[in-house]
Structure 1
Amino acid sequence: MKEVDSTLGHELFIANCLVFVPLVILFYEYIATFEREVRVYWPPRNPLGWVSCVFLVNRYLSLLGHIPILYSVFGNMSYEFCANLFIYHSYYEIALQLFVGALCMMRIYALYNKNRWILAFLVGISILSVGVAVWSIVTSTGGGPHVITTVPLFVGCNQLMPDDNARHLAIAWSGVLVFDSAVFGLTAYRTTRIGRGKLTSILLRDGALYFVVLFCTNLGNILTLLLAPEVLRTGSTTMTNVISASLITRIMLNIREAGPPGRSTRPTTDEPFSYDTPDGTSIAPLSTIVHGMVSAPLYPAQRSRASKAPRVSSTNYTYDPENGIEMVPLHNADEIEVK
């Protein structure tokens, strides 16, 4: 009996660490990026739009929504509290993943110049993933996690995940893998079509890192549900939620901060920006194309008629700071004008 209690105690300690460590990362990430968030997202310095609102909701939903989960790690909780906490955690996970997915879809939607077919494709994958998740949970026959209350020395809400529940949850989380794979594929395809430039590098770099890290995290979560002992199966989902929320926050901050040199980080208007330098020019990357009042020409509005230099054929793209990365193709340099 002592050996069983010792093994169970060791597993419960690991399970609590799987919950506590991600929450430490979450609060550290919030403190580390708070100054950047205020600078590029908070009103009145920055206009509020759909992207900003979804970003801020996701930001504080991930922060405040984990407080009850952090509280559940400490102290002796009643059976009713732990049972209600499990229900809360299940719905909270769905809500958080929906907001993370919404930010990903907005980013891809803007990257593809607001192409409705791309949006419909991503929405279709999301609906399919949610449908599979709901089906897998509803058809589960395990009765949900069982709360451990027999050993008073074990603190926190400790749960045992039956095999049937674990298998169905693994199926539910596999839909997230499919969605992340689609997002990465669309990001990689579009950025390779855009060409070189700082924004392109940021999109490809952040998209690749987001996909690799989150893919490994989700895969680890699925393997934990399928292979780990019953006590450890419920702990990995917290890590997955924290990593996904933190990564999408970093991506949105990096995109919003990818402004041209010398530009204030205060986006008072939806000014478009070009992030790709035409080949054969000496203009630095991230030069600004402002539709409005400017102090000096940035790109020449018209080439000299006497110039025999070849026409620039590279494609330039504009950037909408509110939507994140709205790209509008300009097929040659002559189409660019400063109004």
Structure 2
Amino acid sequence: MDLTTSVSIISFTLLYYDYFLTLGEEVNLFWSYRSLTWVTIMFYVTRYFSILGSIPVMFGHFWLGHVAVCLSLQTYHQYYALILQVFIGVLLLLRTYALYERNFKVLVLLVVVGLALLIFGIALLVWGRNEIQLQETVVVSNELGCQLWLNQQNASCLALVWGGMLLFDFLVFSLTLYKALTLQRDGRVTLLSVLMRDGTVYFGVMAISIIANILTFMHLPHELDDLSVGHRAFAPLLGQPETRGMATTFTNSISSIMISRLMFNLRDPGLSRILPSLRSPALPHAAVATLDSLQEEAIV
């Protein structure tokens, strides 16, 4: 079994294990609500698109049949990853928009940047699609599944797509940090801790995952061959045709897990005990009303 398949198996295991582990929370915190909002709809779409959409990806890692089917599965994997990140981006957009009390300028900023990065990503995928070189898998040396071999040009395109996703996450984190510092001046420290905890953990985990994935697409300079043994130990993981993008499945699984956990935390009943303490003459009525509605819609 090759390294890419091993990483993918770990990723699928984490994804489905976390799903069944948090299914009870989903039932209690989401299914019990009779009314549907855009946020709850996007939560269901994102969560189950990730769970069900991963099945063809998982199937592809063990496909031993015709090359044409393998190529279709790998093409599906690329667009599946992009669409999943778009869904997650929409949830982050709604969360940030609500955090800024539905400020139209913030909405325009997030939508414009998000659409620009989406168009950029689609263009790169389409432009680089013809550069893919596919190796038909043969059952030798205990290797399973179809292997997608990317030349450096196509790998660079995919690295740029993931870089755009990281840029959007950084924008959301920066806006959250700025708003949290503003709320701190209003004395809303308890709510601030919730916002900063979730925002920081989400961005930190996703940044590490995406950067790790980008590194697998990058070409390793020949100069590194003369470096220490420790550096050479990582050389087989960077820029090799058989390992390019091997962390994509892991990044998709982690992003799905993280956004689900974030949404569950925002519907934590404990937050209901925080909001009443925020009501004070010093706070504008609109701000308190917004906080109440945000918790109800799970888009703090």
Q: TM-score range by the shorter chain?
A: 0.7 to 0.9
Cross-structure match for 2:90: 102
Cross-structure match for 2:36: 48
Mapped to 2, the partners of 1:56 and 1:141 lie a distance apart of 31
Cross-structure match for 1:323: 297
Cross-structure match for 1:134: 122
Cross-structure match for 1:219: 211
Mapped to 1, the partners of 2:6 and 2:152 lie a distance apart of 22
Q: Secondary structure at the match of 2:242?
A: helix
Given that 2:158 and 2:217 are in contact with CA atoms closer than 8 Å, whether structure 1 keeps it comes out as yes
TM superposition shift of 1:77: 3.0
Residues paired across the two proteins, number: 271
TM superposition shift of 1:56: 0.6
Closer, same or farther: CA 82–325 of 1 in aligned 2, 3 Å: closer
Decide which of 308, 313, 319 is 2:282's aligned counterpart: 313
Scaled by the length of structure 1, what TM-score is found? 0.74
Mapped to 1, the partners of 2:79 and 2:3 lie a distance apart of 24
Structure of higher CA gyration radius? 1
> Cα RMSD (Å) of the superposition?
2.1
Q: Secondary structure at the match of 1:154?
A: coil
TM superposition shift of 1:135: 2.8
Closer, same or farther: CA 206–102 of 1 in aligned 2, 3 Å: same
TM superposition shift of 1:314: 5.0
Q: Which moved more, 1:65-74 or 1:182-191?
A: 65-74
Cross-structure match for 1:254: 265
Mapped to 1, the partners of 2:206 and 2:34 lie a distance apart of 30
Q: Secondary structure at the match of 2:218?
A: helix
Closer, same or farther: CA 164–80 of 1 in aligned 2, 3 Å: same
Which whole-Å deviations, capped at 9, do the CAs of 1:86-125 have from their partners, x for residues lacking one? 1211221121111100000010011111111111100111
TM superposition shift of 1:239: 1.1
TM superposition shift of 1:150: 4.3
Q: Secondary structure at the match of 1:125?
A: helix
Q: Which stretches in structure 1 are left out of the alignment for 5+ residues?
A: 1-11, 264-272, 279-311, 327-339
- Counterparts of residues 61-140 of structure 1 (less than 5 Å): 61-74=49-62, 76-140=64-128
TM superposition shift of 1:277: 6.2
Mapped to 1, the partners of 2:54 and 2:116 lie a distance apart of 27
Cross-structure match for 1:176: 165
Which whole-Å deviations, capped at 9, do the CAs of 1:152-172 have from their partners, x for residues lacking one? 552212221211110111111
Identity of aligned residues (%): 32
Question: Higher helix share goes to which structure?
Answer: 2
Mapped to 1, the partners of 2:84 and 2:155 lie a distance apart of 20
Given that 2:64 and 2:139 are in contact with CA atoms closer than 8 Å, whether structure 1 keeps it comes out as no
Mapped to 1, the partners of 2:263 and 2:244 lie a distance apart of 31
